[in-house]
Structure 1
Amino acid sequence: MSYHRCYCDDQNTHTHTHTSSMSAVHSASPLPEDPTTPPPMTTPPRKASVRLQERRGSNLSLLLDVSSLGAEPVCSVSTPKEVWLQLLHTSSRPLGHEALQLAAVDGDALNAEYQKIPPNFVSAAELDVPGHAMKDRYKTILPNPESRVVLRSPEEEPGPDRYINANYIRGHRGAPRAFIATQGPMLHTVGDFWDMVWQERSSIIIMVTRLKENNEKCELYWPQPRKRKVEEEEEEEEEEEEEEEGGETGRFGRFVLRVRNSREKDGFTVTDMEIQLCSERRSFRHYWFTSWPDHHIPQCTASLLRLVEEVETYRQSLLPSGSQPITGPILGPGPIVVHCSAGIGRTGCFIVSSIGCQQLRDGGQVDILETVCQLRLDRGGMIQTTGQYQFLYSTLAQYSSQLHHSQVKNPEDQVSIKLQNLQLDSTQNVNLQNQPEQLHT
């Protein structure tokens, strides 16, 4: 029996794939009609459809039996893995300020550039972790084996290592384990998420999705802060009460989480919390970016750039001071944990924006192509759509403009990036909003 293979593109994930053309197949001549006998039923009963949205990152493979039609089978051609791994390791396009401004408005060129980046998705056979499927939010978004986070068994509960859908991601200049990209926790993986945060000593968590958009995107995995009262006297009483009780608390897995402070920013929420296991307590900060609209890309780069700047400033404040003598092992803040729903789309946008801003500050140029390739080597499918890719160029072009203007105006001063009034150029905004992609990560 011979088969033709054709591919259906998942419109909700917008994962780009390489397709091959198929020769037209001519069916045999139809049988003569019998006026006395009704034609046989040839249409199979309709099966319950499976939403493509549940197959993120996949290429739905459809096999058609054409042996009875006498057609010559088409040989499938696939690119050897070594070839596209080489592309991911070597692709580069460093751009200075002027070149970046021009590249950001050339949508056709960016689309062509993006389509050539191999996705580097992982199959279940490559992962080879028994029972992992029940802990994957999307069955085809799997962690790359070489860089995946492995949950070690706690000393008080000896046992085998455990699985979590998460990858270490390299940062600026290839810094190892600068980030962890992971999926949004599910009801039965919340405990695993906090085990990972504790194990990796992470002090920063970035959440780039709402809890629910068209459907559930992420389980609520931290205690919600109390709503503050309006009257000043009641506010003071509440603050005193929180100091006595230690703030809003909740138990998640093995840990007790306590909210210390929460404040709204323009486009995101910052919550300072404490995580406790037995008698040990650690502080961390949770950033919840809520201004990324469902089904679209942001119309403005300001909120994302503000978030990137705030996270970087806070991260720097956690680094040990160089003036203090080193008397023991240095414990840094741990990787920055970033997640959306699947952990590849909006998660990738934040990480690439963060790395790109550092590149522009340090060297005056940025290599978005190389950075996206680096991310996909660490976790397949990072930056999920053409629209996201173009948005990255627009975001970093805006940042470069602010940096460039500040340096030209007063090159002797420390560079101060003011992000309050950043807006996309009207041409860029029109181009981006006309993109058909929908973001669901």
Structure 2
Amino acid sequence: MNRLRCCPARGLLRPGRGKGQWCLTLGGYFPGLRHPGISGLKRTWKSPGVKARDYPPSTSWLSEPPLGPVPHPSMVLARGGRSRAQPLTLSLGAAMTQPPPTKVPAKKHVRLQERRGSNVALMLDVRSLGAVEPICSVNTPREVTLHFLRTAGHPLTRWALQHQPPSPKQLEEEFLKIPSNFVSPEDLDIPGHASKDRYKTILPNPQSRVCLGREQSQEDGDYINANYIRGYDGQEKVYIATQGPMPNTVSDFWEMVWQEEVSIIVMLTQLREGKEKCVHYWPTEEETYGPFRICIQDMKEHPEYTVRQLTIQYQEECRSIKHVLFSAWPDHQTPESARPLLRLVAEVEETPEEASHTRPIVVHCSAGIGRTGCFIATRIGCQQLKARGEVDILGIVCQLRLDRGGMIQTAEQYQFLHHTLALYAAQLPEEPSP
């Protein structure tokens, strides 16, 4: 029985002239015949005039019924959509004839520069890309950090702070979003600074660090781990946040106090809390530290803190300094009550020398960022509540971290700051609810 079958290789399979022969008519020339439907066909195609036979392993596939309508050979197009070629007749079991091979011209070797075109053309292509799609600037992590710290804020009115405060969970989430703005050792290119750092990861931010400028410090450089901190309404150099003095930095500490004409020192740590947190940098009566002579003039103990009146003498000049030691504040934690902290803030406010706001207040704990940051933020927040009737605690912390990285160390301290300022707001004269 003569049957026609559509070959998957874009050809037509039909009975041949001789017995047991089949012919394959293709719409174009193909150098090989590959398809799963005739994968069992052993190909031995060669040039015309050379005997070549294809031996199918079985003839059962030739008697299978056709899978669909059989197209006319003239409708079979060559691969790739090219013009139809002359039909090629392939006799299975007989010699195959094929058109003479087309001579392909040898590919000319082209140098890389010729394929690309000239350098000028390459430059024009790059410029044209910019005209189609403008190049957008990408913010670096440092720029993102600075933008957040300069713009973030969450103002709270006195009424909201007392009656509708954020929940502890909300405050924790808000605190964790604030970039720490710590300084890496690579960003602080100061030879020998490591020997003067109490903690190797707590370093002064370069743009606001205090530089020692007197002659006796030139041999050791101008370095001290301390930063100028802005105060209420962005006033410059209201505070100096620094670490607890070390044995080899006591003289530098008093030099900074003298250089900046400091009149108040607030100390927020004990000398030892399991390990050394700060050295005893003031005398019991009188002592000399480098070129500075320090004397105790008076001491008064309060339930939560101790106040000492000191004098510092350099050459023939002598100045008075108020030293306040608040020791009831564990490291990385909060005081048991907010009221002692508010009394400490009031103690600083009552200092006559503070009325002029011309001299910075030195504040330190052990690292100079946790308890130090809480005290400074509390005082700024009290000033905002008193002057404006509202407080932006998030904005205060962001401003502090711009000046010294890591100020306010824990979410617990951040929550305690809100609690302390809510207590202060309750002490102010009544205001109508919104």
Both structures adopt the same fold (TM-score exceeding 0.5): yes
- Say which SS state the counterpart of residue 346 (structure 2) adopts: helix
Change (3 A) 1:110 1:336: same
Question: Which structure 2 residue ranges, 5 or more long, are not aligned?
Answer: 1-138
Calculate the aligned-residue CA RMSD, in Å.
Answer: 1.8
Q: Percent identity between the aligned chains?
A: 55
Give the whole-Å Cα distance in 2 for the aligned partners of 1:145 and 1:295. 25
Structure 1 or 2, whichever has the larger Rg, is: 2
Give the whole-Å Cα distance in 2 for the aligned partners of 1:157 and 1:124. 22
Contact 1:164 1:192 in 2 (8 A): yes
1:241-256 to 2 correspondence within 5 Å? Answer: 248-256=285-293
Q: Which residue of 1 aligns with 2:311?
A: 274
- Matched to 1:86, the amino acid is H
Contact 1:201 1:333 in 2 (8 A): no
Q: Which residue of 1 aligns with 2:373?
A: 348
Count residues in correspondence.
Answer: 294
- Matched to 1:80, the amino acid is P
Contact 2:373 2:408 in 1 (8 A): yes
Change (3 A) 1:367 1:295: closer
When the two structures are superposed, what TM-score results if normalisation uses the length of structure 1? 0.64
Contact 1:168 1:181 in 2 (8 A): yes
Give the whole-Å Cα distance in 2 for the aligned partners of 1:257 and 1:280. 12
Give the whole-Å Cα distance in 2 for the aligned partners of 1:339 and 1:293. 14
Indicate yes or no: 2:249 matched with 1:189: yes
Give the whole-Å Cα distance in 2 for the aligned partners of 1:293 and 1:255. 31
Change (3 A) 1:104 1:184: farther
Q: Which residue of 2 aligns with 1:200?
A: 260
Q: Which residue of 1 aligns with 2:396?
A: 371
Indicate yes or no: 2:163 matched with 1:138: no
Give the whole-Å Cα distance in 2 for the aligned partners of 1:294 and 1:190. 21
Q: Which residue of 2 aligns with 1:164?
A: 224
Shift of 1:333: 4.8
Shift of 1:253: 2.1
When the two structures are superposed, what TM-score results if normalisation uses the length of structure 2? 0.65
Question: Which structure 1 residue ranges, 5 or more long, are not aligned?
Answer: 1-77, 225-247, 321-331, 409-441
Give the whole-Å Cα distance in 2 for the aligned partners of 1:112 and 1:211. 33
Q: Which residue of 2 aligns with 1:391?
A: 416
Give the whole-Å Cα distance in 1 for the aligned partners of 2:256 and 2:421. 31
Contact 1:104 1:390 in 2 (8 A): no
- Say which SS state the counterpart of residue 95 (structure 1) adopts: strand
Give the whole-Å Cα distance in 2 for the aligned partners of 1:306 and 1:181. 20
Contact 2:269 2:326 in 1 (8 A): yes
Shift of 1:160: 7.3
Contact 1:208 1:346 in 2 (8 A): yes
Q: Which residue of 1 aligns with 2:167?
A: 106
Q: Which residue of 2 aligns with 1:311?
A: 348
Give the whole-Å Cα distance in 2 for the aligned partners of 1:305 and 1:85. 31
Give the whole-Å Cα distance in 2 for the aligned partners of 1:303 and 1:160. 39
Shift of 1:153: 2.6
Q: Which residue of 2 aligns with 1:338?
A: 363
Give the whole-Å Cα distance in 1 for the aligned partners of 2:178 and 2:157. 21
Contact 2:240 2:363 in 1 (8 A): yes
Q: Which of 263, 281, 284 is 2:321 aligned to? A: 284
Give the whole-Å Cα distance in 1 for the aligned partners of 2:282 and 2:171. 39
